[in-house]
Structure formats: structure tokens, C-alpha cells
Structure 1
Amino acid sequence: MNARTQYRAKVVSPEAAVRSVKSGDWVDYNFCLSQPVVLDAALAARKDELFGVRVRGGMRMGSFKIIEADATGEHFSYSTWHTTGFERKLMDEGIITHTPMVYRNKPLFYRKSLEVDVAMFCVSPMDDEGYFNCSFTNSATRAIVEKAKTVILEVNEKFPAFPNGYEHKIHISEIDYVVEGENPDMAVIPPAPSTETDRLIASLIIPRIRDGATIQLGIGALPNAIGSMIIESDLKNLGMHTEMLVDAYMAMFEAGKITNTHKGIDKGVGMFTFCAGSAALYDWTRANKDRLATGAVNYTNNPAVIAQNPNMVTVNSCVEVDVLGQVTSETSGKRQISGSGGQLDFINGGYLSEGGQSFVCCTSTYKDKSGKAHSRIRLSLPQYSAVTDPRTEMHCLVTEWGVADLAGRSIWERAERIINVAHPDFREELFRGAEELGFWKRSRKK
């Protein structure tokens, strides 16, 4: 049976496809832009006949019909791998929960430890050889397909098919049902405007980047500031190897700064595992498919793979850091505000690279609702905080006050270097507290 014949035999309505879900099932929605739309609505419509259906997903950025239909969790419960602002509100209300992870291990979690009864997610249209493309979200898609008892694909004609990649295709013979979706536009993340503090932090990093370096950036105001400064600089022949394809990369490509010609691996293409950003970014990816490649996250985020790019530079943001160098990039006390993502993966991979550097960045202070300033550098992380980056893995901490290289440093040295990049208004208090805890000796103060 040829691919087109198989396709026609497997096309069903959303309502027919979700009849494969039974009470108590584990249902997987995949991640970010690949999460289902019409299938989500069809599953929500079955609320009254289903109980205890457990749904996994992550980075949901828009309408969520199963939760709108059942906020009690009696029929559908949901856990997210990485919490967005949209999901954070649901978590604050106790409606959904979070699943911690090391992102590079996500495919391994599925292959070794997790159950998937039904997987349903969005893909690009099938090609002439019978393959659907993971498109905007590769992540752990291949592992999910391998583990699921039933696989339902929701086709979105606006999803591009990237010809280059690793574990980035699914054959018609591997799936059970195809639903031809409504081809909605993808949810967007508007570019965050950079502040003067963001630009100060970026200005400390830019001079450390060499021509031919490969760059990993996260999302937000700071990466946008770095991208803008790279465009204005004399840097050339840069490469892209990242987990998340964001607007800053589009701007650097278009300015001719990214050529991918000096990478140690995947030369000629920018490698990523998922994409999220502006509508302009999605349009750009469709027009530049041949300049990009999408890899499963156990490839893109594998430190041994990352390290094959010489002069790898990784830049990520954090929420708070203590004087020992323990970092939280995902919680504020007990409140989950995002996720660990691949930050630790790229800290490791960047440092392992020949000439590589890994930067974790934050503004030195923040203000509470009353306008009072607080230091992001603390004697200890707040109670119940999740440690995203252990002290043993930290390379460079950057604030607007400087760069603290922590790799291989003693507790006394670490404390001193970290406090010296705290806001001056808090340094004496931090030194005094660190001394009382035995983390620093006053005789060392310069």
C-alpha cells in the first residue's frame, strides 16, 4: 500500500480520533507549538464520559479546551514540562502541575520511564514519500511516537517541513489516525523590549565573543539585546546551535552575522529543537527552511554534541543566585514560574567546548509591588526554591556590575566574586552574612 493510500485510510474527524482515549489514560500533547488544537477541543467535548485522563504537555501559549471544560481535574489533569505565563496562572490556582526535567533527557524519560496511551499533536503536511515533519517542535517527538500505543497527527498546513535534521520525521506507517486541522496561526511571543540594564549586561558579554563562535541564546529581553549588539558589532561568521529558535537569530541571520560556516558540527545550517516567537519569525522560517535544521533534544542539548562547536557561547538568564553559586532560573520561592529547560545542558556543553564560555545572567536587583528593591544575589536561595544549576556546574555569572568566573573556585573565592557583582547597596550586608556562615573571610576583602 503506497503512502497516499495509507493516508486516505487513516484520515478521520477529530471526534472519531479522540474516541481512542479511555478513562485513566495517559495522553501526550507534545510541546509548545505542536500541541493540538482541534483535537484538544474534541477531547474536551468528551468530558462527561471520561474520568482521570492524565495529559502531558508544555509551553502552552493559548486556548486550553480540556482545562476550560474541567477546572476540577476530575476528568482531565495536566502537567507541563515548562511553565508559560498562561500556564503559570493555572498553576497558581492549583489547576495544573509541573514536571521537572533535564531537557536533554526528555526523550529518555519516554523511552525508559513514562507511559503514553494516546499521543496527539500537530505536524506539517505529509510529503510524497509518506513523511510528516516535526516542524516547529522536534523536542522528544520521535520518542513519544515510539512509546505511544495510539498516535494521532493533526496536520497544520502552516507548519513548514525542514529538510535537514535529526529524528525530525514521522512516517505514515507509524501512526494510527490523521486529522486535517483548521490550520490556525501559531501562538506568538512578542519580542521583549530591552532595558538599559539588559544592554549593560550584554555589553559585558559581546567583547568576549570571537569571530566564528557558535551562539546559544534563550528568549527574552537580554537575548534580544545581545542580538542587537552583535548586529552592530564587527563580529562575523557566527553559528547557531540552540534549543530554542527565537527572533534574535532571525535578526542576526538577516544582518549576515550568522553564516554557520565555522561550526564544528552541522556546518551550513542553524540547529534548533523548537521554535517560538513572533509571527515574523514563523514567516521567516518558512522562507529559510534550507538554512535551518531541527534536531531531537537529546541531540541539540547533548553537551558532547554542543562541545563539538569550538568557541561555543551560551547565554541564559536566571531569577536568583546564592553566594555559593547555586542558581534558580525557574522558581520564585515555592512558585514555579518557568522550567529548567536546557540551561544546564548548555552550561555544560559551552564549558566543554574548545574556547567555549557559558554565561548565566541576571539584573542585580528587582523591585517588589511596593517599589522596594531586593538583591537577586542572596546568602541562600529562598525556601523551597528549585536549584536549576548546581554550584558545581556554574561558569560565569553576569550582572550589570560585572562578570564572575566561578569555574573551579573555592567557596571563599566564589562568595567574593559573586558578591562583587551584586548591587553595591547590598554588598556589605552580603559580605557580613557570608562571613558569619563561614563562606568568606574578611581578610580576603580587597
Structure 2
Amino acid sequence: MNDYNKEYNAKLTTPEKAVKVIKSGDWVDYGCLHAYPALLDRALADRKEELEDVKVRSLLMHGPLHIVEEDPNQEHFTYNSWHMVKFERNLCDRGLCYFIPMLFRNLPGYYRRFLDVDVAMMAVTPMDEEGYFNFSVNNATARAVLDTAKVIILEINDKLPRLFGKENKVHISEVDAIVEGEHPDLFEIPSASGSEIDELIANQIVSQMEDGACVQLGVGGMPDLIGKKIAESDLKNLGVHSELIVNANLDMYKAGKITNSNKTGEMKGKTVGGLVYGTKELVEWTAENPDVMICPMDYVNDVNIIRSLDKFTSINSCVGVDLFGQISSESAGTRHISGTGGQLDFLTGAYDNPTGKSFICMPSSRVDRKGVRHSNVHATFHGDIITDPRSQSYQLVTEYGMVNLAGRSTWERAEMLISVAHPDFREELIQSAEEMKIWRRSNKLK
């Protein structure tokens, strides 16, 4: 039996020495979410005066990010995100974070086919007896990043639990350097609270679900509320197949709704996801749980796999829709909010699935800080990033109803979308539709 401790000790170093390998002009990838290499980030930021034009990629960063916050003029580092959360969104508002468009199912392939990674740095679990480090709750694209990287530096975080899954580990023989140090407890992502409007939308969606459905939930108040509604419902024998395992999935499990019994093959009986995104209780539930598989995104979000799951049901949110059926879920105008993530992957897979369903939901309007109400159904977008093209728009839900846009003409879409818009804006939207020549004279709202 190999004694991997000798090799481990030979590669063990300090964060300060480890980051010496990074040169000006390099592309550096950080592990995402809980794989953020805090000690290495601190050490790299301390080297800023020695470096210029170092480009860093990651996603789902909850902060702090020292290389950004201590280089506000971007003289040394440039940070880029595949998918933004609040911390990164605030950086973006200050011009300190740049978005990289992607589809989650394609992201591992981007690395393996098109991108350079000079140095990869990520937090992992302590090494096991066979010389492997586990990616824990942060599988997603980790294996693809390391496969591409010229240099691999691992940061050991003993707060990270081991999880089961596919392509979820890296061997000591592949690693160039290892660092250790103290880490705080993993930060928690609490459930978001839904509004009365969210509840009206959630009730419509849950009423359309069937026993045995395999569920994908996005993040935010709406999906969390839908998960709670599912937990309180009479639905049974549900499965989970989702890029993110979220708090709502635990609510469903604790209510006895999740069995994954309708899945086949290696996924039978398994909750499948790419990342675990939630509370300490959620992380503890997934830790070394043989009924949970954390897999890379080119597996979880593979359209061919999604279309094979019986009664697959995808539930996500958006920011706005226009009368042509284009859906924006990642920006407000040109202000970036999040990212495409896997929404289009699951929308496509659910549509291609003969027993599948997909719901995109949103409140019909929003009220700004000045108390002014704005419609989330727009005549046309003005700079908003299109997440789901009109050619793939499907079932859209607001508090005023549910419409299925698949196969519908421009005038039918206009009529349907205006029917679920806030009443205060319907006449204005009809006028815009007439001007754009997508409103029939005989159209009547019911």
C-alpha cells in the first residue's frame, strides 16, 4: 500500500511560497463557492506590486476577494465571473468584475477545448488514504479546470465534507503544491422568503405537477417557496436533478417527498446536482450521503440526460419578458445581475422531454425605491441580456396566470403575455403591440 503522506509532505508549502509561481499575464482560476481558496487569495493580493495583468476567473463568490478589493484601479488583477451573486454584482456595479457568458452544460468543455489555465487554486477536503482530495460541495467545473491547468495548487479546508459523485476528486500525483491553514465555518445561504405574489405563482405551478416528477429548482424566493409548497402538498415519489442542491430540496426530503425511485441506471435513488447551495443543515445532509451524487455540470445539465428523466419538471425565475417572448433572467437593462447558468439547459431539456414540463416565473410588475410601479412584461427590451430566446420560450407564469408560448405566432404571444401582465400596463402594451404590427384588430383580452 502506497504511503501518500510522504508525497503530501514534499508538496506542502506556505501560501506565500505557493503563489510565487504566478507570473504577470497569467490566467488563474479559483475554486467557486466554498472552494474559494481564501489563504491563497490573501497571499496573491499581497504580491500585487510584483504583478500586472493577472486575470482571475471564478463564480458564485460571496467575498471577500482580496485581489479585487485591494486593487480598486485594476492595476494588477482583473476578476471575471461565470455567474454572479450579490458580492460579485456589487463589484460589477463598481466596474471591478466582468461577466463571462456561458451555458453551464458547456462550461467544462470551454476549459478543455478553448481556455488557458496557467494556475488553478481551489479549496478541497483533506487527503484520504488513497491519496485523493474531494471537491466536496463544489463539483461543477472543478475537474475540467484542473485537467486544463498547467499548475495545480490545493488549499486544504478541513471544514469541507466529502461527498459522493462523479469526477469529484483529484489525486496527490496530479498536484504541484498544497497549503494548509485555519478556516472559518462554511458560510450559510439561508432560504429566501417569498411574497404574496410569489405564493400565487407557486400555487399555480405546484397544481401542474404530478406524482413521480423529477424536479429542478433554481435559487431565490420563488423556487424556495415552491419547494415549501411541494413539501406541504400531496405529491409523492419525487426526484431531484438540479445544477444546485438547495434548501428547498431538503424541505422536500424531510417531508418524505423525495425518493428518486422513478430514475433508472446509476441515478436511481439518487438526488443529483452539481453544487450544494444553502444552509449548514443542507450541507450536513449531503455529506457522505450515498443517496446524493454531486457531479460535473456537463453531466447534470446534459440535455440528453434531462430528456431521459421521466416527468422532468424545471422551475426557474426571470427578470422580464418582452412581447416577442424573449426572456431575460440575468440583467436589468445593461446592469448585470446573475448569469445564464443552467436555465436554458433545463428549459431545452424539459421541452425535448416527452413527459417534461418547464416553468419560467416572475411577478408581473415591480415597484422601485421611489414607489413607482414598472411592468416586467415589456414591449421590447432595451439593452437587457436575453437568456432564453423567443424560439425556446415555453410556459411563463405570473400572478395573473400561466401561458404556453411554444409554437405561437407573434400576435398570439402578444395576446397571451398581455393577458398575464399587470392590469395597469395592459392598454399601453396593446398600443405598443399595434405599433409593432403584432396585434390583430380582433384581439380581445379576456
TM-score scaled to structure 2, two decimals?
Answer: 0.97
Task: Please identify, of 272-281 and 54-63, the stretch whose mean Cα deviation from structure 2 is larger.
Answer: 272-281
Residue equivalent to 1:284? 285
Q: Map 1:104-119 to 2 at 5 A.
A: 104-119=105-120
State the Cα distance separating 1:104 from its structure 2 match.
Answer: 0.9
- 1:418 partner amino acid: L
Q: Map 1:76-225 to 2 at 5 A.
A: 76-163=77-164, 165-225=165-225
Q: Is the 8 A contact 1:212 1:263 kept in 2?
A: no
Residue equivalent to 2:403? 404
Task: Please identify, of 277-286 and 136-145, the stretch whose mean Cα deviation from structure 2 is larger.
Answer: 277-286
- 1:403 partner amino acid: M
Residue equivalent to 1:5? 6
Deviations 1:189-210, CA, capped at 9 Å, x for gaps: 2211111111100000011111
State the Cα distance separating 1:156 from its structure 2 match.
Answer: 1.1
Q: Is the 8 A contact 1:27 1:116 kept in 2?
A: yes
Point out 4+ residue stretches in structure 1 off by more than 4 angstroms.
Answer: none
Residue equivalent to 1:298? 298
Q: Is the 8 A contact 2:121 2:155 kept in 1?
A: yes
Deviations 1:287-344, CA, capped at 9 Å, x for gaps: x622210110011011111111110000000001001110110000010011111100
Q: CA RMSD in A?
A: 1.3
Q: Distance in 2 between matches of 1:322 and 1:276?
A: 31
Residue equivalent to 1:274? 275
Q: Distance in 2 between matches of 1:315 and 1:200?
A: 15
Q: Distance in 2 between matches of 1:158 and 1:32?
A: 13
State the Cα distance separating 1:376 from its structure 2 match.
Answer: 0.1
Matching of residue 419 in structure 1 with residue 410 in structure 2: no
Q: Distance in 1 between matches of 2:383 and 2:422?
A: 24
Residue equivalent to 2:322? 322
- 1:394 partner amino acid: S
Q: Is the 8 A contact 1:264 1:310 kept in 2?
A: no
After superposition, the Cα gap between the structure-2 partners of 1:390 and 1:264, relative to the gap in structure 1 and judged at 3 Å, is farther
Q: Distance in 2 between matches of 1:31 and 1:109?
A: 16
Deviations 1:140-189, CA, capped at 9 Å, x for gaps: 111111110000111111212112x2211111111111112323222322
Q: Is the 8 A contact 1:156 1:184 kept in 2?
A: no
Q: Is the 8 A contact 1:155 1:179 kept in 2?
A: yes
Q: Is the 8 A contact 2:57 2:81 kept in 1?
A: yes
Number of residue equivalences = 443
Residue equivalent to 2:36? 35
Q: Is the 8 A contact 1:135 1:159 kept in 2?
A: yes
Structure 1: which 5+ runs fail to align?
none
Q: Distance in 2 between matches of 1:400 and 1:442?
A: 27
Q: Is the 8 A contact 2:35 2:122 kept in 1?
A: yes
Residue equivalent to 2:55? 54
Residue equivalent to 1:338? 338
State the Cα distance separating 1:220 from its structure 2 match.
Answer: 1.0
Structure 2: which 5+ runs fail to align?
none
State the Cα distance separating 1:249 from its structure 2 match.
Answer: 0.5
Residue equivalent to 2:257? 257
Q: Is the 8 A contact 2:232 2:255 kept in 1?
A: no
Task: Please identify, of 182-191 and 149-158, the stretch whose mean Cα deviation from structure 2 is larger.
Answer: 182-191
* Sequence identity (%): 47
Q: Is the 8 A contact 2:105 2:342 kept in 1?
A: yes
Q: Distance in 2 between matches of 1:308 and 1:421?
A: 32
- 1:379 partner amino acid: A
Q: Is the 8 A contact 1:188 1:279 kept in 2?
A: yes
Q: Distance in 2 between matches of 1:12 and 1:62?
A: 24
Q: Distance in 1 between matches of 2:254 and 2:269?
A: 15
- 2:424 partner amino acid: D
Q: Distance in 2 between matches of 1:336 and 1:68?
A: 19
1:38 partner SS: helix
